Amino acid sequence: MRKNNTGRGFTISELIASMGVIAVLSAILFPVFAGARESARLVQCTANLHQIAVAAQVYHQDHHGPPMDNITISLAPYVDDGSVFVCPNDPERMDSYSAFFVGRYTSAKASEFVVGCPRHNSGRKGAVVCGKGKSGVGLVGDVTHNGTKIGIGEFIEGGVLKFADGSRVDIQNGLSVAVLTSVSSNVGLHSVVWIPEGQEGSVDVTVTPGSRFEVCTPEIVAAVRGTRFRVTVYKTTRHDSAATYVSVEDGEVEVECRLKPGIVVLNADQSVVVENPDDAMPTPKKDKKDKKDKKDKKDKEDRDDDGDDELMPR
């Protein structure tokens, strides 16, 4: 006797409808899962940065100074797991943070950059850890070099850097610099420019009021809020070393030595040179050239005003 098979398969139209439902659900859920995965990676990266900052503090206590070389080597004895030196979003899966680390001889303040990472949400978000373990996540502001957008950590030579807050850095031809971070926070944009060892030349910096801006060289960190100043790096014959010269045109700049204890605050028309790490931190000096230029400018304006008065009808 033959049995009747009462079951039946899907029709073509039912299969197409089912596939359509699956495609719609995938389109809806995939960004959710991807966003959750990216958020988890950002949390992990921020935790890595925090552990690095704590390790750097302990290193500072043991060695009476900050780690100045590759932190994966310097700080390895101070972490439990070497994976803290790798960002989950770093495709090379190697040393993710040394290029974004700023060692300071004096313990960093809560507003001073220590280490960061710009690799999240396709470069739109960055994680930052400042002094005293203060960590945060913010949107990465656009930075352009001669009108072309550049990546955080990318070295560029000469030209003009412009930041999302309107701040500007004019770089002398032949001088290479990199932007270590430019992340928004509740107090404005926080940007850090790095001038590496072996460079010679000047940068002229104009910072928008309300923003936090730092310029780092192998010798110093110059930190400001809304001011105009110049940083010059050059080689010296004395001690066969390098030096950094900082002069302030307007506002106030805090200059911290990275190689020895010492912080000086420069006001308008003041300058300082930090050269040999064995010397004491120098005191600020009046910038005579700037003072003379301003006096000449004022005298010219006075003469122009006098001339205008003579041309006015009586």
**Mean per-residue pLDDT for 230-251?**
88
User: Where is average pLDDT lowest: 83-97, 204-218, 266-280?
Assistant: 266-280
pLDDT at 305: 42
Regarding pTM above 0.85, the answer is no
Q: Residue 284, Cβ neighbours under 10 Å: how many?
A: 18
How far is the CA of 74 from the CAs of 53, 70, 196, in angstroms? 12, 6, 19
Amino acid identity of 111?
A: S
Tens-digit pLDDT profile for residues 19-47 = 777 777 666 755 654 567 888 999 999 99
3-state secondary structure 217-286: CCCEEEEEECCEEEEEEEECCHHHCEEEEEEEEECEEEEEECCCCCEEEEECCEEEEECCCCCCCCCCEE
- CB burial of 32-45 (b: ≥16 within 10 Å; e: otherwise) equals eeeeeebeebbebb
**Mean per-residue pLDDT for 119-127?**
90
Q: Which domains does the chain have, with CATH numbers?
A: 22-133 (no CATH), 141-299 (2.60.120.1440)
**Mean per-residue pLDDT for 220-237?**
89
**Mean per-residue pLDDT for 275-293?**
66
| pLDDT at residue 232 is higher than 80 | yes
